[in-house]
Structure 1
Amino acid sequence: MKRIIEIFTIVLLFNTMAYGGEIFSPGNASFSGYVKTVGSMPIAGCRVYAYDSLGNVSAFMETDSTGYYLISGIAAGEYRAKTLNQSGYVDVWYVNGSSWDEATPFTIQDNDTLSGVDFNLNYGGCIEGQVKNSLNEPIEGVFIDTYDTLQNFVTSAISDSSGIYFIKGLTTGHYRLHTENNAGYINEWYDNKASFEMADNIDVTMGDTVSGISFQLQPGGIISGYVVASDSGTPIAGITVSLYNPNQSLYKNTQTDSSGYYVLYSVENGNYKIGTYNSFGYVDRFYNNKDSFESADTLFVQGDTLSNINFVLVYTGIPQNVGSKKYNIRAFFIGKKLFLEGLPSGEKEVSLFDMSGALLRKEKVDCKYVTFNFNNRRNGVYFIKSKGTVNFCKKIIYIE
């Protein structure tokens, strides 16, 4: 079974996979170096990623106790390198670049080893706090997303069993925080604000820690149900179920699992309408078996759980569009291929990242449609990101 959880926010985290390395473009070339602090202390367990000239990850390796790493067995060619660490240091591109454009490319010949690709990292600023519910009980597993003042995503952290989170590796600047959770609580911007524009700035200085940046989340509503085929009652996996505001704007969406079940968490109090979207040949419907937004039944959410909001879809074999909205970007797996549909006009390229934030692959968009091959990909969290006519990101959980 493969599950997809979609969250329309940019969330790039450090992969929790065990330390080691991996080669994606095998060959006979190598490069090596050291990762140390600006005070020349070695940094162990820091990943170094090798990117080819197209921006694809060719390999990564982690430093040993001396800060040394060796990326070997890659194809000859031009590369850029970048660090990724869990120790609170500010990651950089080689040499001391803050972005791909500022990175210094280097070329490796076949059967050659290039040494001296070294990094010296500064310790970054930190933000820490706690996430609790209205009863002052800690909430585990809440994502705390960090944005700069231009609303660009920076990094994220997850609250532990005590509700404590710790964001590390920040450069000096102003930041705003937002929660994301599937525990049924209403997400918010710091400090108890409803939008990015209203959120409080948090001033961070490299090397310092800002403490006491805490959240108290209120319980939200939950909507759940099943989607089945009309002729057999067979559950339908991969159907997008979308929740809309009264003005027909998309509020949030999710997808059905292998049992046809879906659940929408953290729904704020209010009135909504709900409908399906699919590209499998079923006729999409709004609730309660209605064919349009205008005729759909209204759902009233007041912090409670609305279950059995079910859909019975008729199969015609002809893809339908009832229930879709502009920029309702859809993702689903067929075999080991991830398909992404409904991309906005003008999108030309989409990127796949792992949970660590490392770029794994870029693919060209063909008529609002793109695919990624998941052969040799491990189970875990991935992210699909685009920056074109619409700046979006999808969180994908891949389980084979």
Structure 2
Amino acid sequence: MRLILNPERQNVEPGRESAVALSVTNTSSVISGHRIRVLGLDPSWVTIDDETLSLFPDATSTTVIRITPPPGLPAGTRQFVVEVESLTPPAETDQIAGELVIPTRAAMRLSLDPPSSTAGKEARIGVVLKNEGTAPVDAQLRGHDDPAEVNFAFEPSTVSLEPGEQFLATSRLLAKRPWFGSPKIRSFSISASTLDQSVAAQGSWVQSPRFSRGVLALLGLVVAGTIFAAVIAGSLSQVVDRSNANSQLALQVAQAAQNKVAIGTASLTGYVRLAVSQAPVAGVTVNLYQPSDLTSPAASTATTTNGSYRFTSLAPGSYDLSFTGAGFAQLWYPNAVSSSGARPVSLTNGAHRRGVDISIGALPVSISGSVTGLPPAGAQLAIQLPSTNPLTSVAPTPSSTATAVPNGIIVAKTTLSAAGTFSFHNIPSPETYQLVLTKTGDASVVQTVTVASGQSESGIDLVLTPGNGVISGTVEGPSGPIGGATITATVGTSTSSTVSLTNSPNTGDFSVENLATPANVSLQVVAPGYAAQTLSVTLAPNQHATGIVVNLQPGVGSISGVVSTPPGTPAGGVSVSASFGSQTLTTVTASTGTVGSYRLANLSVPGTYTITFSRNDLLSQTVVVQLAGGSPNASGVNVSMIASTASMSGIVSESSGQGIADATVELVSGTSTYTVQTASSPVAGSYTLRGIEPGTYTLNFTRVGGLPVSTIITLAAGEDVTRNQQLSPAAGITAQVVETSSGQPIQGATVDLYFSSSYAPGAPPLTTITTNANGEFTFPNLEAPQSYLITVAYPPGSSPEASYNVTTQEGATVCATNGSTSTASCQIQLAVAG
């Protein structure tokens, strides 16, 4: 089939319908049916005019896909995939990608609730702000009246809104109240301004006099009856009070209506990665729902190029998250395919929740088939991500667990029975895989399988055949061909042996057949009275390697010793190879018995051998050993190896010596970065970095609210460096609370701490402390630079009597009243009733 999407990329406005045309052409020779679906977008956004098309051969039909992104969707690019599945055998699936671009648009709406209020000296008006645009805004609230007689105060004065978010601020109006006469009508306007726009709303304040005409009339009628006058005055007072109460009630109702999309100071971040390779996934739509309403998201965003996403300014509560990406099945956090299995994420005010990560596994499919040819019983079949060397990616023992190895990632594997059938389930799609079939003595089979999104593959046929590789040649010595030599070919765990011919004229000839290909073959040749020779031969698929000449040297000697490795690393498994001319013999150090010991035997004498010791995690070493006729055996050839990488450890502490937990230790070079957090136990402030590539690095020590420390350090292979570091104290805020008249310290005063940017009346504080016997308090370990608000109340439970905005400084404790680092006479004065 052939697919055309028009347009493939278009701008859309949230809340408005956009349309794309999908043309499907039947390129087969039979009438076919085609089913259409859209992946990567919330299904509630999408409608398809014709979800199923029936086409004659070479016919083309077009259907319209209508997409309506919800209001409040932030600006950015949303990717989607249109998948068309053929319903007529042979079934096939094709896909075409598209993009929706949500442009950046500023649109803010402001209204007053109530627009008109009746009050005395002070009035309170609700200011409702809603961001109807596609970009976050920071709006500054201001008030104005023409006579300039009204003072305006706002709580808060600056409002931050995400797209689609609504917030209710409070405006407090103050003006001189007339003593006598008619009520004074004050007209005013309240505006909200951003960098891109300004919106305003008009309001009126009916300010009643202290003594209205009705009250004066009542005073004139006092002589007519004091009780009657009191009743009338009380009634008028109730009218005024009821007006104020109605105003406050309207404000409370507006606040209650806002609770559904309330703003707060919490945030939530995480990463989206592929389930198999853990690679980051960009363009995945992340929807945030309140559990009471799973029909429409409260907020939405998309993952960036590194797979990360972020929600900010969230109110306290529980939230459900769903993840939808092009070509992937919808997933609910942490790993549910429907909302019923979702686990809510709980947030408190001021909390910064990190690590809300998921592994998106795409649509699960099945891959099945059978193995024919030679008997398949005992053969191992693995499905893995593509590897340049697939045969070395397969572990030698069967396992049903996905395994990561240096040359590839195995998704699943199994051992075949005599029936030869296989079936892998829950394999992520879309993806390209390698099916790797191995059996000792038989040729390995590697077949590539590509599965489309949600499309299972069946009927795969793998043919098991005898090993078809051949290595042939001649064994020769100084006096001519050598018959009776044993030639052993090793491929992985499989070995094949033969003996060189002894009859003339073909003396010394050999041929090792039925070798698995492609493969690296280790060929060892041994003959009595000669030093053994080991060759490495690489066979391409179906290759017959001929003309191999193996030269054996007379005389037999040996080299032996013990290899020691750094503490904590095994001494076994170190490769030891001896080279003499074209002769090379290889062994590995023992992992049992005398661990680290080795012995190279059947060496030609005399000879000068270059001995190389190597392993991936160790720095290779080379020694030269001479074997002579009088001393053919060299023992005690011992080496001490060092790690190929460096390590570093130490303790990060305060100047007092107390360890600092959760400080960051970072090594940075042009190509590599190593990072670790210091421990809280068993040794506070301790850290260890291992596996560091040798080189020159910038070493950084940082802590929240403290001054960073950086230095240059050069690390060599095998080096284990101890580096301790003292850091300045974290940022803090302090003051002394005293009584205004006497100057005596106040013990037990309540001090609350808030972020200035997110403070709202009634919101819970970040933390609360009380003053000590000297009236002192200190908030330690704060972020810096950061703007905080503190409020002070005494006695506990009363309303705050003092509040201060203060900005912290890195590595310093500042005075709460003025932000100065000089805290010698930093006092907050409170008037305490006698």
- TM-score when normalising by structure 1: 0.39
Structure having the higher strand fraction is 2
Structure with larger RCO (C-alpha < 8 A, sep 6+): 1
Structure having the higher helix fraction is 2
Q: Mark the structure with the bigger radius of gyration.
A: 2
